[in-house]
Structure 1
Amino acid sequence: MENEEKGRKPRILCLHGFRTSGEIMKKQIHKWPQNVLDKLDLVFVDAPFPCNGKSDVEGIFDPPYYEWFQFNKEFTEYTNFDECLQYIEDYMIKHGPFDGLLGFSQGAILSGGLPGLQEKGVALTKVPKVKFLIIIGGAKFRAPSVVEKAYSSQIGCPSLHFLGEHDFLKEYGKELIDSCVEPVVIHHPKGHTVPRLDDKSLNTMMSFIERIQNDISENKEEVQSMS
């Protein structure tokens, strides 16, 4: 049983981009090599709100499309944000426990803010601590009310960030990286997308997975020795 636990795949909740879906994100992530996917237990969830306008992936991926929350033009005011946090927590209670989060675009912004909000007791109060993040095309929240809680201290869990050379969120992605204590960065030449992995990024990804697996095993051993 002990060996089985040591080899346990990290269980990851995947949060998709704005006006897409869990099914779409699954297709995006499945561009990665099978030897990466085999090491992770990925769970894809649809956001709580049906798409409230045109989706950028229309004509590329089939509907339905969903969004996590709504925002104003400056991204400084959010609608249905608390409902979104509650929805994620309810899903984690029902389908968890989860070890970490993987997010793309709006899902990456959410993922990057959740550890801080959890630490402050604002979100995910009834589920285990988020142990790591995988951020693709991410950025920081910009609503002042969320910012002060999400980033009041640096993001302490290990994090892997995909930064696209032509991503319109690139500069904001760097700001998020600067807010992390232990960021690992994969640079890629594409835009705002889930990139394929070349040899170099594959090695970085595999090292990160090995590290989080070790962390999960050590954490489990600590818990067992305390009980």
Structure 2
Amino acid sequence: MEVEKERKPRVLCLHGFRTSGKILQKSMEKLPERLVQKLDLVFLDGPFPAQGKSAVEPIFDPPYYEWFQANQDFTDFINFEECVAYIEDYMVKNGPFDGFLGFSQGGFVSAALPGMQSQGVALGKVEKIKFVIVIGGGKFGAKKFGVPKLASNAFSKPIHIPSLHFIGDEDFMKDEGIALLDAFVDPFVIRHSEGHTVPRLDEDDDGFNTMLSFIHKIQSIPSNVPHKT
């Protein structure tokens, strides 16, 4: 009798500001393979070519992309609606997906999408988002940033889906990430000593066990992806 394979939740991954899906995919290699291989990760490039210098130029080759633009004090957002429509279109054509993983700018978008979906202003053509993983991201309207109009009610009610949050002690987005925790019910939190990056997790770290527990939880949720026999 054949043993049934462990189900891998299918995750759409949104990269950081002026980077790319390929760069996030490479960065995810810093996490233990034993954990990452439990997820079916799909990496998407942002809809807009980078409109300025990328902070990762000394490390990673172009091209670089961004999800949306904003003015200098982040009170006026540009192309945010187009960004959300682009993500939904990709999900319709390439889905279904169970959840999101987002880093930095992609983390802000990922964190807002479940609330936007429940409010009926986004992702109406795709299945309900079951979970989010946010690395170095945060909450629109919390500290340094305003709120895109489309996301104005994204956090008006507690979000009742599993969420995993990576918060770095030296991350300049630390306060934004901490503010996001209150938006989700019973969030899983991994605190690490690094900065604005995907951190390294050793198998003897508390963070390893936290991420493993989170993965077990989302594996227990009925998937949006049809089971293959």
Asked if the contact 1:112/1:135 (under 8 Å) is kept, the reply is yes
What is the letter of the counterpart of residue 42 of structure 1? L
Following the alignment from structure 2 to structure 1, what is the Cα–Cα distance between the partners of residues 58 and 188? 34
Question: Which of 174, 192, 195 is 1:191 aligned to?
Answer: 195
Following the alignment from structure 1 to structure 2, what is the Cα–Cα distance between the partners of residues 74 and 90? 30
Task: Tell me by how many angstroms 1:47 deviates.
Answer: 0.3
| Equivalence for 1:59 | 58
- Paired residue secondary structure (2:167): strand
| Overall identity of the aligned pairs, in % | 61
Following the alignment from structure 1 to structure 2, what is the Cα–Cα distance between the partners of residues 144 and 127? 21
Following the alignment from structure 1 to structure 2, what is the Cα–Cα distance between the partners of residues 24 and 214? 30
Following the alignment from structure 2 to structure 1, what is the Cα–Cα distance between the partners of residues 51 and 28? 24
Task: Tell me by how many angstroms 1:147 deviates.
Answer: 4.7
User: Any runs of at least 4 consecutive aligned residues in structure 1 with deviations exceeding 3 A, and if so which?
Assistant: none
| Equivalence for 1:225 | none
C-alpha offsets along residues 1-22 of structure 1, whole Å, 9 cap, x if unaligned? xx74x83200000000000000
What is the letter of the counterpart of residue 135 of structure 1? V
Asked if the contact 1:10/1:216 (under 8 Å) is kept, the reply is no
What is the letter of the counterpart of residue 51 of structure 1? A
What is the letter of the counterpart of residue 106 of structure 1? Q
Q: Could you tell me the TM-score, scaled by structure 2's length? A: 0.90
Residue-pair matches, total: 218
C-alpha offsets along residues 147-186 of structure 1, whole Å, 9 cap, x if unaligned? 5321111121110000000111111111111111121100
| Equivalence for 1:154 | 158
Task: Tell me by how many angstroms 1:146 deviates.
Answer: 4.1
Task: Say whether residues 1:213 and 2:219 are aligned partners.
Answer: yes
Task: Say whether residues 1:14 and 2:13 are aligned partners.
Answer: yes
Task: Say whether residues 1:204 and 2:189 are aligned partners.
Answer: no
C-alpha offsets along residues 175-215 of structure 1, whole Å, 9 cap, x if unaligned? 11111112110000011111011322111111110110011
Task: Tell me by how many angstroms 1:121 deviates.
Answer: 1.1
The structure in which a higher percent of residues are helix is 1
Following the alignment from structure 2 to structure 1, what is the Cα–Cα distance between the partners of residues 32 and 61? 23
Residues 188/167 of structure 1: CA separation in 2 closer, same or farther (3 Å cut):
same
| Equivalence for 1:69 | 68
What is the letter of the counterpart of residue 196 of structure 2? H
| Equivalence for 1:138 | 137
Task: Tell me by how many angstroms 1:216 deviates.
Answer: 2.6
Task: Tell me by how many angstroms 1:74 deviates.
Answer: 1.6
| Equivalence for 1:39 | 38
- Paired residue secondary structure (2:152): helix
| Equivalence for 2:49 | 50
Following the alignment from structure 2 to structure 1, what is the Cα–Cα distance between the partners of residues 14 and 101? 6
Following the alignment from structure 2 to structure 1, what is the Cα–Cα distance between the partners of residues 133 and 158? 16
What is the letter of the counterpart of residue 149 of structure 1? N
